[in-house]
A = this chain, B = another copy of it.
Amino acid sequence: MDNRPIGIFDSGVGGLTVTSRVINELPCEKIVYFGDTARVPYGSKSKKTVTKFAMQDVRFLLSKNVKAVVIACNTVSSNSIEDLKKEFDIPIFGVVEPGAKQAANVTKNTNVGVIATAGTIRSGAYERAIKQFNSNISVYSKACPLFVPLAEEGWWNDKITYLTAQKYISGLIDKKIDTIVLGCTHYPLLRKCIEETVGPDVSLVDPAYETAVALKKYLFKNNMLREGQCGGHEFYVSDITETFEKICFEALKQKYDAKLINIEEY
Protein backbone atom coordinates (compact mmCIF):
# COMPACT_ATOMS: atom_id res chain seq x y z
CA MET A 1 0.00 0.00 0.00
CA ASP A 2 0.99 3.61 -0.58
CA ASN A 3 -0.90 6.33 1.29
CA ARG A 4 0.60 9.27 -0.57
CA PRO A 5 -1.93 11.31 -2.60
CA ILE A 6 -2.52 11.26 -6.36
CA GLY A 7 -1.55 14.50 -8.11
CA ILE A 8 -3.81 15.81 -10.87
CA PHE A 9 -3.16 18.97 -12.86
CA ASP A 10 -4.78 20.90 -15.65
CA SER A 11 -4.43 24.27 -17.37
CA GLY A 12 -7.47 25.39 -15.40
CA VAL A 13 -10.75 23.99 -14.22
CA GLY A 14 -11.52 21.49 -16.99
CA GLY A 15 -9.46 18.86 -15.20
CA LEU A 16 -12.09 18.76 -12.49
CA THR A 17 -14.12 16.49 -14.80
CA VAL A 18 -11.14 14.08 -14.76
CA THR A 19 -10.88 14.45 -10.98
CA SER A 20 -14.55 13.49 -10.72
CA ARG A 21 -13.87 10.29 -12.69
CA VAL A 22 -10.82 9.46 -10.56
CA ILE A 23 -12.75 9.98 -7.33
CA ASN A 24 -15.57 7.74 -8.64
CA GLU A 25 -13.14 4.95 -9.56
CA LEU A 26 -10.83 5.35 -6.56
CA PRO A 27 -13.01 6.69 -3.73
CA CYS A 28 -10.42 5.92 -1.03
CA GLU A 29 -7.58 7.90 -2.60
CA LYS A 30 -6.62 11.41 -1.60
CA ILE A 31 -6.31 13.91 -4.50
CA VAL A 32 -4.06 16.95 -4.76
CA TYR A 33 -5.35 19.04 -7.67
CA PHE A 34 -3.60 21.97 -9.33
CA GLY A 35 -5.33 24.21 -11.90
CA ASP A 36 -3.15 26.81 -13.63
CA THR A 37 -5.95 29.38 -13.74
CA ALA A 38 -3.50 32.30 -14.04
CA ARG A 39 -2.20 31.06 -17.41
CA VAL A 40 -5.26 29.19 -18.73
CA PRO A 41 -5.87 28.23 -21.53
CA TYR A 42 -2.98 26.09 -22.77
CA GLY A 43 -4.92 24.90 -25.86
CA SER A 44 -4.10 27.91 -28.00
CA LYS A 45 -0.41 28.08 -27.02
CA SER A 46 2.75 26.60 -28.54
CA LYS A 47 4.27 23.24 -27.60
CA LYS A 48 7.31 24.93 -26.07
CA THR A 49 5.25 27.16 -23.79
CA VAL A 50 2.88 24.33 -22.84
CA THR A 51 5.80 22.05 -21.90
CA LYS A 52 7.44 24.76 -19.79
CA PHE A 53 4.20 25.39 -17.90
CA ALA A 54 3.59 21.64 -17.45
CA MET A 55 7.08 21.13 -15.94
CA GLN A 56 6.26 23.75 -13.31
CA ASP A 57 2.88 22.13 -12.65
CA VAL A 58 4.46 18.70 -12.02
CA ARG A 59 7.18 20.21 -9.81
CA PHE A 60 4.47 21.77 -7.66
CA LEU A 61 2.65 18.43 -7.30
CA LEU A 62 5.91 16.69 -6.39
CA SER A 63 6.37 19.23 -3.61
CA LYS A 64 3.12 17.76 -2.22
CA ASN A 65 4.66 14.26 -2.16
CA VAL A 66 2.33 12.62 -4.68
CA LYS A 67 2.78 8.97 -5.72
CA ALA A 68 1.54 9.42 -9.30
CA VAL A 69 0.60 12.29 -11.60
CA VAL A 70 -2.45 12.50 -13.85
CA ILE A 71 -2.22 15.04 -16.66
CA ALA A 72 -5.88 16.05 -16.76
CA CYS A 73 -5.23 18.23 -19.80
CA ASN A 74 -5.40 17.00 -23.35
CA THR A 75 -3.09 19.73 -24.62
CA VAL A 76 -0.31 18.73 -22.20
CA SER A 77 -0.95 15.01 -22.74
CA SER A 78 -0.69 15.58 -26.49
CA ASN A 79 2.36 17.82 -26.56
CA SER A 80 4.48 17.23 -23.51
CA ILE A 81 4.00 13.79 -21.93
CA GLU A 82 7.26 12.36 -23.32
CA ASP A 83 9.25 15.33 -22.03
CA LEU A 84 7.59 15.02 -18.62
CA LYS A 85 8.28 11.28 -18.42
CA LYS A 86 11.94 11.91 -19.25
CA GLU A 87 12.24 14.67 -16.65
CA PHE A 88 10.44 13.09 -13.68
CA ASP A 89 10.92 9.70 -12.06
CA ILE A 90 7.27 9.05 -11.12
CA PRO A 91 4.35 7.31 -12.87
CA ILE A 92 2.69 9.86 -15.17
CA PHE A 93 -0.69 9.25 -16.82
CA GLY A 94 -1.97 11.25 -19.76
CA VAL A 95 -5.54 11.22 -21.04
CA VAL A 96 -4.69 10.64 -24.71
CA GLU A 97 -3.53 7.02 -24.70
CA PRO A 98 -6.46 5.59 -22.68
CA GLY A 99 -8.92 7.61 -24.79
CA ALA A 100 -7.30 6.50 -28.04
CA LYS A 101 -7.30 2.85 -26.95
CA GLN A 102 -11.00 2.94 -26.12
CA ALA A 103 -11.83 4.66 -29.44
CA ALA A 104 -9.94 1.91 -31.31
CA ASN A 105 -11.86 -0.73 -29.34
CA VAL A 106 -15.28 0.83 -29.83
CA THR A 107 -15.32 1.73 -33.53
CA LYS A 108 -16.88 -0.82 -35.87
CA ASN A 109 -16.58 0.99 -39.22
CA THR A 110 -13.04 2.33 -38.43
CA ASN A 111 -14.08 5.99 -38.87
CA VAL A 112 -13.25 7.90 -35.68
CA GLY A 113 -13.78 11.63 -35.00
CA VAL A 114 -11.70 13.64 -32.52
CA ILE A 115 -12.77 17.05 -31.20
CA ALA A 116 -10.37 19.07 -29.05
CA THR A 117 -8.58 22.41 -28.65
CA ALA A 118 -6.44 23.81 -31.46
CA GLY A 119 -3.25 22.77 -29.62
CA THR A 120 -4.34 19.15 -29.19
CA ILE A 121 -5.51 18.83 -32.80
CA ARG A 122 -2.33 20.47 -34.13
CA SER A 123 -0.19 17.99 -32.18
CA GLY A 124 -1.79 15.03 -34.02
CA ALA A 125 -1.44 13.01 -30.81
CA TYR A 126 -4.87 11.34 -30.88
CA GLU A 127 -4.47 10.40 -34.52
CA ARG A 128 -1.05 8.82 -33.88
CA ALA A 129 -2.23 7.03 -30.73
CA ILE A 130 -5.41 5.63 -32.34
CA LYS A 131 -3.47 4.38 -35.36
CA GLN A 132 -0.98 2.65 -33.04
CA PHE A 133 -3.85 0.52 -31.76
CA ASN A 134 -5.28 -0.08 -35.24
CA SER A 135 -3.57 1.35 -38.30
CA ASN A 136 -6.69 0.76 -40.45
CA ILE A 137 -8.67 3.42 -38.61
CA SER A 138 -9.32 6.74 -40.35
CA VAL A 139 -9.19 9.62 -37.87
CA TYR A 140 -11.02 12.89 -38.62
CA SER A 141 -10.10 15.78 -36.32
CA LYS A 142 -11.70 19.14 -35.63
CA ALA A 143 -10.56 21.94 -33.33
CA CYS A 144 -13.49 23.51 -31.46
CA PRO A 145 -12.11 26.68 -29.77
CA LEU A 146 -15.54 27.97 -28.70
CA PHE A 147 -16.52 24.89 -26.69
CA VAL A 148 -14.41 25.85 -23.64
CA PRO A 149 -15.82 29.39 -23.27
CA LEU A 150 -19.34 28.06 -23.97
CA ALA A 151 -18.91 25.45 -21.22
CA GLU A 152 -17.50 28.04 -18.81
CA GLU A 153 -20.36 30.44 -19.63
CA GLY A 154 -22.72 27.67 -18.50
CA TRP A 155 -24.63 27.69 -21.81
CA TRP A 156 -24.81 23.90 -21.75
CA ASN A 157 -28.28 23.69 -23.35
CA ASP A 158 -28.37 26.95 -25.31
CA LYS A 159 -29.31 27.20 -28.99
CA ILE A 160 -25.97 28.96 -29.62
CA THR A 161 -24.09 25.94 -28.27
CA TYR A 162 -26.14 23.59 -30.47
CA LEU A 163 -25.48 25.74 -33.57
CA THR A 164 -21.77 25.90 -32.73
CA ALA A 165 -21.66 22.12 -32.27
CA GLN A 166 -23.45 21.69 -35.61
CA LYS A 167 -20.90 23.95 -37.32
CA TYR A 168 -17.91 22.18 -35.80
CA ILE A 169 -19.15 18.59 -36.03
CA SER A 170 -21.13 18.39 -39.31
CA GLY A 171 -17.96 17.77 -41.31
CA LEU A 172 -17.15 14.76 -39.10
CA ILE A 173 -20.68 13.36 -39.51
CA ASP A 174 -20.24 13.64 -43.30
CA LYS A 175 -17.22 11.33 -42.90
CA LYS A 176 -19.55 8.67 -41.40
CA ILE A 177 -17.77 8.46 -38.05
CA ASP A 178 -19.29 5.93 -35.64
CA THR A 179 -17.15 7.03 -32.66
CA ILE A 180 -16.17 10.47 -31.37
CA VAL A 181 -13.49 11.27 -28.79
CA LEU A 182 -14.16 14.18 -26.39
CA GLY A 183 -10.54 15.32 -26.57
CA CYS A 184 -10.79 18.21 -24.10
CA THR A 185 -11.61 17.99 -20.42
CA HIS A 186 -14.29 20.68 -20.68
CA TYR A 187 -16.30 18.79 -23.28
CA PRO A 188 -18.04 16.35 -20.90
CA LEU A 189 -19.86 19.46 -19.61
CA LEU A 190 -21.38 19.75 -23.15
CA ARG A 191 -21.98 16.01 -23.44
CA LYS A 192 -25.76 16.24 -23.97
CA CYS A 193 -25.42 18.77 -26.80
CA ILE A 194 -22.61 16.79 -28.48
CA GLU A 195 -24.55 13.54 -28.11
CA GLU A 196 -27.64 15.04 -29.74
CA THR A 197 -25.57 16.61 -32.52
CA VAL A 198 -23.81 13.38 -33.53
CA GLY A 199 -26.99 11.30 -33.09
CA PRO A 200 -27.63 7.92 -31.43
CA ASP A 201 -25.45 5.87 -33.81
CA VAL A 202 -22.18 7.53 -32.79
CA SER A 203 -20.43 6.36 -29.59
CA LEU A 204 -18.89 9.00 -27.34
CA VAL A 205 -15.49 8.23 -25.81
CA ASP A 206 -14.58 10.15 -22.66
CA PRO A 207 -10.78 9.89 -22.11
CA ALA A 208 -11.24 11.10 -18.52
CA TYR A 209 -13.11 7.94 -17.61
CA GLU A 210 -10.66 5.70 -19.46
CA THR A 211 -7.74 7.38 -17.70
CA ALA A 212 -9.29 6.85 -14.27
CA VAL A 213 -9.70 3.15 -15.07
CA ALA A 214 -6.10 2.86 -16.31
CA LEU A 215 -4.81 4.56 -13.15
CA LYS A 216 -6.85 2.23 -10.95
CA LYS A 217 -5.45 -0.84 -12.69
CA TYR A 218 -1.88 0.45 -12.34
CA LEU A 219 -2.19 1.24 -8.63
CA PHE A 220 -3.80 -2.13 -7.95
CA LYS A 221 -1.20 -4.08 -9.93
CA ASN A 222 1.69 -2.27 -8.22
CA ASN A 223 0.20 -2.54 -4.76
CA MET A 224 0.01 1.24 -4.47
CA LEU A 225 -3.59 1.71 -3.39
CA ARG A 226 -4.30 3.83 -0.32
CA GLU A 227 -5.65 2.21 2.80
CA GLY A 228 -7.38 3.77 5.73
CA GLN A 229 -9.33 7.00 5.75
CA CYS A 230 -10.74 8.45 2.52
CA GLY A 231 -10.90 11.98 1.14
CA GLY A 232 -9.10 15.05 2.43
CA HIS A 233 -8.63 16.30 -1.12
CA GLU A 234 -6.63 19.49 -1.64
CA PHE A 235 -7.22 21.99 -4.45
CA TYR A 236 -4.67 24.60 -5.58
CA VAL A 237 -4.92 27.26 -8.27
CA SER A 238 -2.58 29.96 -9.59
CA ASP A 239 -5.38 32.55 -9.61
CA ILE A 240 -8.62 32.82 -7.67
CA THR A 241 -11.59 33.15 -10.03
CA GLU A 242 -15.33 32.50 -9.93
CA THR A 243 -15.06 29.84 -12.62
CA PHE A 244 -13.34 27.37 -10.27
CA GLU A 245 -16.32 27.40 -7.93
CA LYS A 246 -18.90 27.05 -10.71
CA ILE A 247 -17.16 24.20 -12.55
CA CYS A 248 -16.05 22.48 -9.32
CA PHE A 249 -19.63 22.24 -8.17
CA GLU A 250 -20.86 21.12 -11.60
CA ALA A 251 -18.15 18.43 -11.89
CA LEU A 252 -17.80 17.20 -8.30
CA LYS A 253 -21.28 18.06 -6.94
CA GLN A 254 -19.56 19.43 -3.88
CA LYS A 255 -18.06 22.74 -2.77
CA TYR A 256 -14.29 22.81 -2.26
CA ASP A 257 -12.08 25.78 -1.45
CA ALA A 258 -8.98 26.27 -3.57
CA LYS A 259 -5.70 27.64 -2.18
CA LEU A 260 -3.66 30.16 -4.15
CA ILE A 261 -0.04 29.41 -5.10
CA ASN A 262 2.56 31.19 -7.24
CA ILE A 263 3.32 28.60 -9.93
CA GLU A 264 6.17 30.63 -11.43
CA GLU A 265 8.24 29.74 -8.34
CA TYR A 266 8.29 26.04 -9.28
Residues of A within 8 A of B (CB): 37-40, 44-46, 48-49, 118, 145-146, 148-150, 152-153, 158-160, 163-164, 167, 238-243, 264
Contacts and interface: CB of A to CB of B under 8 A. Distances in A.
Sorted from nearest, which 8 A-B pairs have the closest CB atoms? A49-B239, A149-B149, A38-B49, A45-B239, A39-B39, A160-B163, A46-B239, A146-B149
Contacts of A240: 46
B145 A152 contact: yes
Contacts of A40: 44
Contact of A163 (B145, B159, B239, B241): B159
A149 B145 contact: yes
A113 to B, nearest CB: 19
Copies in the assembly, this chain: 2
A241 B148 CA distance: 18
Contacts of A152: 145
Contacts of A153: 145-146
Contacts of A163: 159-160, 163
A39 B263 CA distance: 13
A49 B167 CA distance: 35
A174 to B, nearest CB: 19
Q: Which of A158, A164, A167 has the most CB of B within 10 A?
A: A164
A241 B146 contact: no
A40 B149 CA distance: 14
Contacts of A238: 49
A121 to B, nearest CB: 12
Contact of A160 (B37, B164, B243): B164
A239 to B, nearest CB: 5
A106 to B, nearest CB: 30
Contacts of A167: 158, 160
30 contacts: A38-B45, A38-B49, A39-B39, A40-B44, A44-B241, A44-B243, A45-B239, A45-B241, A46-B239, A46-B240, A46-B241, A48-B239, A49-B238, A49-B239, A118-B242, A145-B149, A145-B152, A145-B153, A146-B146, A146-B149, A146-B150, A146-B153, A146-B160, A148-B149, A149-B149, A160-B160, A160-B163, A160-B167, A163-B163, A264-B264
